[in-house]
Amino acid sequence: MSIYRVDLVILNDDYSGFTRLLSSHGLSIYLRMYSDNGYEDVLFDVGPSNYILKHNSMKLSIDLSSVKAVILSHRHYDHTGGLKYVMKVFRELGGRPTIIAHPWIFKPSIVLSHSKQEFDKGLPYSEEFIRANANLILTRNPLRIANSAFYLGEIGRYVDVSKYKSEFHTVLDDGELVPDELPDDTGLAIDVEGLGLVVVAGCSHSGIVNIVRHASELLKENVYAVVGGFHMMKYDDEDLRDSINALKELGVGKVYTGHCTGLKAEKLLSDAFNEGFIKIHSGFRAIFKA
């Protein structure tokens, strides 16, 4: 059955807008997808904080126990920190949430540069703890999660964005410290009947153009809108222009940006998309339907 409507709510973004909600560096998005069979809810990322996720979801009257799956865009703490609260919500009702992620979700995430050394940017919970409290689906491949909605799996590297990940490192199973290309960074694509694809990205370490193109080629459909963090903070002017042109060539008409997109990038996106540029914040709501 086709999805004919998607209701989207930002549960956490870096910016709180003109609300009394909380915000912190990170992202969490709640989506309700309607088809002729009713509706299904998913949670895309959980933000950095159990407290913020609890506070904002309660203020927004969103019951997280309804979610069919929690999709993790990648392993960084600012997208995975609220998992304990989600598991608590389910546990109190005698259940366990289903978490969908890439097999690298438990890999260490380390930042090493001349000015900064961080050893704990990854998932702030152990694999043992997660497995004891949730059902895990770890896959590199695309996965249909609801009617015409797909977890995108490993993203193709159509455009090289490796220079913007030079600080990231991880440790392989044999203990070797290696540069981290963040193969776990992925997204969600929803084919909305009569509208096109709505693509949701967490942080776009794999490249927002790569995520959008991957979704378009997977579902053989034009992309109507892109929502989330575009990770363009360190893009140079040429890469920003090329990325914006590529998004337009892929048919994108609306961009809903926040989190790690960056002010300069948002300025240029606003100039390029005009009314099709929307700044998201904690509590932001959107409805996608033909």
Is the pLDDT at 95 greater than 80? The verdict is: yes
Q: What is the mean pLDDT of residues 10-37?
A: 97
Confidence of residue 119 (pLDDT cuts 50, 70, 90): very high
Topology annotation, domain 5-289: Metallo-beta-lactamase; Chain A (3.60.15)
Is the pLDDT at 233 greater than 90? The verdict is: yes
- pLDDT for position 273: 98
Distance in angstroms (rounded) separating the CA atoms of residues 208 and 35: 28
Contact 211, 204 (CB under 8 A): yes
Global pTM?
0.97
Is the pLDDT at 214 greater than 80? The verdict is: yes
- pLDDT for position 248: 97
Percent pLDDT > 90 in the chain is 97
- pLDDT for position 52: 98
Is the pLDDT at 80 greater than 80? The verdict is: yes
Strand order in the sheet with 177-179: 117-118, 110-112, 168-171, 177-179
Percent pLDDT > 70 in the chain is 100
Find the farthest-apart pair of alpha carbons in the chain and give their distance in angstroms, rounded.
55
Contact 79, 73 (CB under 8 A): yes
Domain locations along the chain: 5-289
- pLDDT for position 206: 97
Is the pLDDT at 158 greater than 80? The verdict is: yes
- pLDDT for position 66: 96
User: Could you give phi then psi for residue 205, rounded to 5 degrees?
Assistant: -60, -30
Mapping DSSP to helix (H, G, I), strand (E, B) and coil, where does residue 196 land?
A: strand
Is the pLDDT at 237 greater than 90? The verdict is: yes
- pLDDT for position 26: 98
Is the pLDDT at 1 greater than 80? The verdict is: no
* Model pLDDT for residues 248-276, shown as the tens digit of each residue: 999 999 999 999 999 999 999 999 999 99
Confidence of residue 278 (pLDDT cuts 50, 70, 90): very high
- pLDDT for position 207: 98
- pLDDT for position 70: 98
Distance in angstroms (rounded) separating the CA atoms of residues 114 and 106: 26
- pLDDT for position 106: 98
Side-chain half-sphere CA neighbours of 137 within 13 A: 17
User: Which two structure tokens, joined as six digits, stand for 52?
Assistant: 């913020």
